[in-house]
Amino acid sequence: MKKSFRSWSMATLLLAGIVTVTACGKNANENSSPSQEASKKPTASQAAVSEKLYIPIICKGFQHQFWQSVKIGAEKAASEFGAEISFEGPETEEQVDKQLEMLQAALGKKPSAIGFAALDSKASIPLLQQAKDKNIPIIAFDSGVDSDIPVTTASTDNKKAAALAADKMAELIGGKGEIAMVVHDQTSRTGVDRRDGFKEQIESKYPEIKIVDLQYSGDPLKATDLTKAILQSHPNLKGIFGSNEGAAIGVANGVKESNKTGKIIAIGFDSGKAQLDAIRGGVLSGSITQNPIGIGYETVKAAVAAIKGEKVEKNVDTGFFWYDKNNIDSEEIKAVIYE
């Protein structure tokens, strides 16, 4: 009897517990406050994260410090405009195929837009056309392409910047004599524009200056060897121009290793620690600097505007400056050079 009573009591308690739990559960659902209901919906920030813009930025490579400064500018704009970016590029600026593979991979990620600095102004066009067909805005930066597919190009006016370098060269060698050029490549828009901008300015404005040699390499070691060979072949040379960071470092090293420091006017493009040291040490007479942080910033800013359907100018001129040992420490120049 006692056993039956205990069994009945336990069954009763169990049934009561089930009823209580069921009731509590029902009440909890029925009596949820508005704030509790709201907590079940995505918050504004969660919605923003889920809708966040993704913009892959593909640079020319990480061979030069220049691109690290571009990356800083891109990240700054991404933070300001609520976008997510990736920043990538091949190891060297000669790896056109690898850069195209990166562009193909970026397309496969269904991005909101793509920032692209072409190593080859023509080779990327079929992939850029694919992006256009998918309504993915392309923002060209640093180097443009031979196509109107990019919504805009954020870059230095490289022809004008190189023309300024030519003017400085003419001034420093006294308006006459033999000079040479080491240009970083002949496939990118920057290589072509800087070569043509410098060359055309010399040929049209300074008839007593003759360009006696023109070689190509943006690799510092190769540019060093080219410079030494140029100096050996042209004993009367008065000046030499290197068209980017790698070419300019090569020119500086070639001049120094040929014991021509102070005897040859060497002018560069871009900055970076090796170039700054060469200018302070008198090996380079000066250089053109772009605004790499500004290039990165304007690229992402333009991408976000294009995604939103806002008007974007076809070209965004990010500016350029001449600097030498006289103004290298000025606030204006310190803001646009990098180490």
Q: Are 125 and 145 in contact (CB under 8 A)?
A: yes
> pTM for the whole thing?
0.76
pLDDT digits (tens, 9 = 90+) for 43-69: 333 334 446 899 999 999 987 788 999
Q: Who wins on pLDDT, 201 or 9?
A: 201
Give the Cα separation of 242 and 69 in Å (integer). Answer: 20
Predicted pLDDT at 36? 38
- For the CA atoms of 8, 11, 16, 19, what is the dihedral angle to 10 degrees? -140
**Residue 2: pLDDT band by 50, 70, 90 thresholds?**
very low
Cα 291 to chain centroid, rounded: 11
Three-state DSSP state, 259: coil
pLDDT digits (tens, 9 = 90+) for 113-142: 999 999 999 999 999 999 999 999 999 999
**Residue 13: pLDDT band by 50, 70, 90 thresholds?**
very low
Predicted pLDDT at 317? 94
Domain 53-156+291-318 CATH assignment equals 3.40.50.2300 = yes
Close Cβ partners of 55 (under 8 Å, ≥ 6 residues apart): 78, 83, 84, 85, 111, 112, 113, 114, 115, 300, 303, 304
- Read off the tokens for 156: 């230095």
Mean of per-residue pLDDT scores for the chain: 87
Predicted pLDDT at 264? 98
Which CATH superfamily is 158-290 part of?
Response regulator (3.40.50.2300)
pLDDT digits (tens, 9 = 90+) for 282-337: 999 999 999 999 999 999 999 999 999 999 999 999 999 999 999 999 999 998 98
Nearest CA among 160, 147, 56, 71 for reference residue 110: 56
> What is the average pLDDT across 192-211?
98
Secondary structure E strands in the chain: 53-58, 83-88, 114-116, 138-141, 152-155, 177-183, 209-216, 237-242, 265-269, 286-289, 315-317, 321-323
- Read off the tokens for 138: 């392309």
Give the Cα separation of 11 and 195 in Å (integer). Answer: 94
Predicted pLDDT at 143? 86
Domain with CATH 3.40.50.2300 in the chain: 53-156+291-318, 158-290
Give the Cα separation of 35 and 146 in Å (integer). Answer: 56
Tell me the percentage of the chain whose pLDDT exceeds 90. 79
